[in-house]
Amino acid sequence: MSVRRLDPVQPVNFAFTPSNLVFAKETIAKYPQGKQASAVLPILWRAQEQNGGWVTRAAMEYVARMLDMSFIRVYEIATFYTMFQLSPVGRKAHVQVCGTTPCMLRGAEDLKEVCKRKIHSEPHHLSPDGDFSWEEVECLGACVNAPMVLIWSDTYEDLTPQTFEHVLDEMAAGRTPKPGPQNGRQFSAPEGGPLTLTDRSLYNGGAPPEPTVPLFAEPAASAPPSRAARPESAADETAPAIASPSPVKTEEAENARRKTRTRAEANATPEKTPSRVARAKKIGATSTVRQPRASEVEGAESPEKEPKT
Ligand code: FES
């Protein structure tokens, strides 16, 4: 990158035109209160456009006052970003030649030779008539169409020294050549037309080929209809009915639960109940297991009471 300094010859004043002043106010209003300095880039860019393609010291001071910034902060921005020009540029074209690797490998050096021959031997100098200037810049993001140049807001791509000279000649004549690829291709499509998917049968009116295997097999005649295909009424017919609980069965279940509970109490381990162990020791019992009553034993018959005599 070249050393970026302000041009030694500077105009004294700068002020936005009424329309650019409206633009500046609208741009500033997009930012929250206290963050107006964030609008410095678009406003400085508009100042450069109004000033014929470069920013003057007076323009930087004007923008700094507008955004309530110190001059040095605007100066830092204008001298850091190479999109801001610090010296007068050509009236008809300022040519920015990409010199980064892809463009360099594809002939950027030849384009620079054209600039040196047709504009000036040194970058950042005006042509004798003041209509053209040029510089080398870093990648401009159109590497797939290398080599390329940027002139104002348009890119000219896929250049050769001959087509580049033609672009410059057109501009010198006051015409605007068509931007984009200069070798006839569309955008970054292959030169000479498509190279893949060229089989015309692929584009048979959009009709897909007949399938050789049916996509969905027909169900066998004996197979029952699938669940999804079954009509809702049929599903209702085959659905099992939910029986309500019978009161008789509920009583039987309660009796069974009661018997189970009784057996569990009979088999309970007494050692796990200290109070029962202590009670057994106190009475001198050899076993602490409570013997179930005859009525609690399943299947046991009630002893017949002896008739009183
Ligand atoms: S290298 Fe030239 S545009 Fe990216």
Q: How many CB atoms lie within 10 A of CB 139?
A: 14
Atom of ligand 1 nearest to the CA of 140: 3
Q: For residue range 252-290, list pLDDT tens digits in order.
A: 667 767 776 766 665 554 444 445 545 545 554 444 445
Which residue from 214, 224, 232, 96 is spatially nearest to 164, judged by alpha carbons? 96
68 phi, psi to nearest 5 deg: 55, 45
CB of 103 within 6 A of ligand 1: the answer is yes
Question: Does 147 sit behind a cis peptide bond, omega within 30 degrees of 0 on the bond before it?
Answer: yes
Whole-number Å distance between alpha carbons of 293 and 300: 10
CB of 188 within 6 A of ligand 1: the answer is no
Q: How far, in Å, is the centroid of ligand 1 from the Cα of 128? A: 29
Q: For residue range 158-197, list pLDDT tens digits in order.
A: 999 999 999 999 999 999 999 999 999 999 999 888 888 8
pTM confidence score: 0.64
Dihedral over alpha carbons 162, 168, 174, 175 (to 10 degrees)? 50
CB of 148 within 6 A of ligand 1: the answer is yes
Q: What local confidence, expressed as pLDDT, does residue 204 receive? A: 72
Q: How far, in Å, is the centroid of ligand 1 from the Cα of 121? A: 23
* Tokens representing residue 145 in the block: 């169409």
Q: How far, in Å, is the centroid of ligand 1 from the Cα of 142? A: 5
Question: Which H or E run contains 111?
Answer: helix 108-118
Domains in the chain with CATH codes: 18-80 (1.10.10), 93-181 (3.40.30.10)
Q: For residue range 95-138, list pLDDT tens digits in order.
A: 999 999 999 999 999 999 999 999 999 999 999 999 999 999 99
Q: How far, in Å, is the centroid of ligand 1 from the Cα of 148? A: 7
* Tokens representing residue 181 in the block: 């690829």
Q: What local confidence, expressed as pLDDT, does residue 249 receive? A: 55
Q: What local confidence, expressed as pLDDT, does residue 35 receive? A: 96
Q: In testing the pocket of ligand 1, which one of 95, 110, 140 has its CB within 8 Å of the most ligand atoms? A: 140
Buried b (16+ CB within 10 A) or exposed e, 233-252: eeeeeeeeeeeeeeeeeeee
- Asked if the model's pLDDT at residue 37 lies above 90, the reply is yes
- Across the chain, mean pLDDT equals 81
Single-letter amino acid, residue 32: P
Whole-number Å distance between alpha carbons of 21 and 76: 23
CB of 98 within 6 A of ligand 1: the answer is yes
Q: In testing the pocket of ligand 1, which one of 96, 139, 157 has its CB within 8 Å of the most ligand atoms? A: 139
Contacts of residues 299-303 at CB distance under 8 Å and 24 or more positions apart, as own/partner, are: none
* Tokens representing residue 196 in the block: 């893949």
Q: How far, in Å, is the centroid of ligand 1 from the Cα of 145? A: 8
- Asked if the model's pLDDT at residue 27 lies above 60, the reply is yes
Q: How far, in Å, is the centroid of ligand 1 from the Cα of 155? A: 11
Whole-number Å distance between alpha carbons of 190 and 153: 25
Compute the chain's Rg from CA coordinates.
48
Q: How far, in Å, is the centroid of ligand 1 from the Cα of 295? A: 102
